[in-house]
Amino acid sequence: EPEVTQTPSHQVTQMGQEVILRCVPISNHLYFYWYRQILGQKVEFLVSFYNNEISEKSEIFDDQFSVERPDGSNFTLKIRSTKLEDSAMYFCASSAKLAGGRETQYFGPGTRLLVL
Amino acid sequence: AQTVTQSQPEMSVQEAETVTLSCTYDTSESDYYLFWYKQPPSRQMILVIRQEAYKQQNATENRFSVNFQKAAKSFSLKISDSQLGDAAMYFCAYRSDFGNEKLTFGTGTRLTIIP
C-alpha cells in the first residue's frame, strides 16, 4: 500500500540554524500539507500546497518557513532560522487530486525536530 | 472558525470490551468531513475512519464505528472488542468541503487497554 515517507526521522539542530525537512507524498497525490505537533499538544496546520503554490497557510507559517516541490516527488519544509519553540514533530500529509478522494489526508511518520 | 472538542483526555477499557470516545465540533457549514486518527507511541498519524456530513449512515470499519449526530454536532468513535494494539492517542478532526483544505484537530484522547 502506498504511503507518505519523511526524512529524517529525527533532527537535532542549534538555534539559528536552517533545517530542511523532506517528504515524499503518495505518487498520484497532488495536494500536500505540513502540520506540526508540539509535545503534548494537538496537531496544528501549517500550510497546504497545490499546483506549485501555497493554497493556504496558518498564522504559525511566518517568513521563517517556506515550502517547495523541487522535483516530481519531493516536498520540503524549510525553517530558515530555527527557534527553541520550533521543537516539535512535523508531519507531512498528502491527498488525491480527484474531488472524491481529496478530503482524506494521509500522513507520513513525522520528523522529530529538536532545537537546542 | 471551526473548533473540535474532545472532552476526555484519558480513557481506559478492558481488553475485549467496548469503549466510546467523544468528539464535538462547532461549524456553521453544512458540508464537511470528519475523521478519527490514531497516534500510537511511534507518533505516526493513522487514519481510522471518516464520515461525510451529507451521509446519514454512520461509517464503519471493522471493529471501529462512529455515531454521527449532525444536529448535535457530535461525532463519537466506538471501538468494539478492544485489543492491546488499540492503545494510542485518538484525534478527532474536521475538514470543510469549501476549499478550506486544512484539518482542524481536537486535543486528543489517550486510550489505555487493560489486559
Q: What is the gyration radius of the CA atoms in chain A, in angstroms?
A: 13
Q: pLDDT tens digits for A63-91? A: 999 999 988 789 999 999 999 999 999 99
Contact (Cβ atoms closer than 8 angstroms) between residue B66 and residue B36: yes
Question: How does the average pLDDT of chain B come out, rounded?
Answer: 93
Q: Which helix (H) or strand (E) holds B36?
A: strand B32-39
pLDDT of residue A99: 58
Which of chain B's residues have a Cβ under 8 Å away from the Cβ of A91? Answer: 45
Which of chain A's residues have a Cβ under 8 Å away from the Cβ of B103? Answer: 33, 35, 43, 45, 93, 105
Confidence of residue A102 (pLDDT cuts 50, 70, 90): low
Cα(B18)–Cα(B37) distance, integer angstroms = 18
Nearest to A91 among B45, B52, B97 (CB): B45
- Closest residue by Cα to residue A75 from A24, A36, A34: A24
Contact (Cβ atoms closer than 8 angstroms) between residue B80 and residue B16: no
Q: What is the DSSP string of B11-33?
A: EEEETTS-EEE--EEE-S-SSEE
CA A59 vs CA A63, A66, B3: distances in Å: 10, 13, 16
Q: pLDDT tens digits for B86-108? A: 999 999 999 988 766 789 999 99
Q: Is B110 helix (H, G, I), strand (E, B) or coil?
A: strand
Cβ separation B102–A31 shorter than 8 A: no
Put simply, the chain A residues between 76 and 115 with a CB less than 8 A from any chain B CB are 89, 91, 93, 95, 102-110, 112
Inform me whether the C-beta atom of residue A41 falls under 8 Å from chain B C-beta atoms: yes
